[in-house]
Structure formats: structure tokens, C-alpha cells
Structure 1
Amino acid sequence: MNYMTLKEVSQKWNVTPRQVNYLCAAGRIPGAVKMAGVWLIPKNAEKPIDGRTKQGKELRHE
């Protein structure tokens, strides 16, 4: 499986690398693994729904 770094994923999803790090640490990105202190995210991973927005809260409660 091909992996991307935090920086690559943050550019793809248009979020900060810190936000991607938070999502990985919280287990919200399936398949993300931490190797030697670096998060590796699968290339086919999709951006999780942001639960802080109104739309995300509605989807989370369905």
C-alpha cells in the first residue's frame, strides 16, 4: 500500500498538518500508522467529516 506524509495529506485535504496529526492520533483515519515518530496515511484515505460544523454534527448523529 502506498502512503503519504502529514504534509502531503494536509495539502490534498486543504487543512493544516497539525489537524491531520490530530485526526491520526484520534484514530479517525483508517489505516494510518505511526512509524519512527512519523504518521503514514494511505493514499486512498478519505478526509473524515468535521464534527465541529453543523453539517458534520448532523451526519454524526444519523
Structure 2
Amino acid sequence: MNYMTLKEASAKWGITPRMINYYCARERIPGAIKIAAVWVIPKDAEKPIDRRVKKRGDGSDTDCNM
């Protein structure tokens, strides 16, 4: 299987290597393995979905009813 580094995946997916490292550590990228201190990712792996909540700015995303 062919692998790519965090830097290569960063260029391919348009996100930072740190975010890819986070995905690897949380097992969000199937087939990613850590060799010594370096994560390697299968070249055919797809970018994980970003689960972070985006704020709309209109206050509708808060839980507080004031």
C-alpha cells in the first residue's frame, strides 16, 4: 500500500498537518499508522468530515435563553 506523510495529506486536503495529526490520533483516518514518531496515511484515504460546530453569529447557536 502506498502512504503519504502529514505534509502531503495537508497539501492534498487543504488543512494543517496538526489537524491531520489530531485525526490520526483519534483514529478518524482508516489505515493511518504511526511508525516511530511519524504518522503515515494511505494515499487513497479520504479527508475526514469536520465535526466542529460553526457559529452563525446571530445568537441562535447558544443554549441560553435570555
Under a length normalisation based on structure 2, what TM-score does the superposition of the two structures give? 0.78
Q: Give the unaligned 5+ runs of structure 2.
A: 55-66
4+ runs deviating over 6 angstroms: none
Q: Which residue matches 1:14?
A: 14
Structure 1 position 41 matched with structure 2 position 41: yes
Q: Which has more radius of gyration?
A: 2
Cα RMSD (Å): 1.0
The one-letter code of the counterpart of 1:48 is P
- What secondary structure does 2:30 align onto? coil
Identify the residue that residue 63 of structure 2 maps to in structure 1.
Answer: none
What is the CA–CA distance in structure 1 between the aligned matches of 2:48 and 2:5, rounded to whole Å? 16
* Residue 31 (str. 1) matches residue 41 (str. 2): no
Instruction: Report the CA distance between 1:31 and its aligned residue.
Output: 0.1
Q: Secondary structure at the match of 2:8?
A: helix
State the 1:53 CA deviation.
4.2
More helix by share: 1
Aligned residues: 54
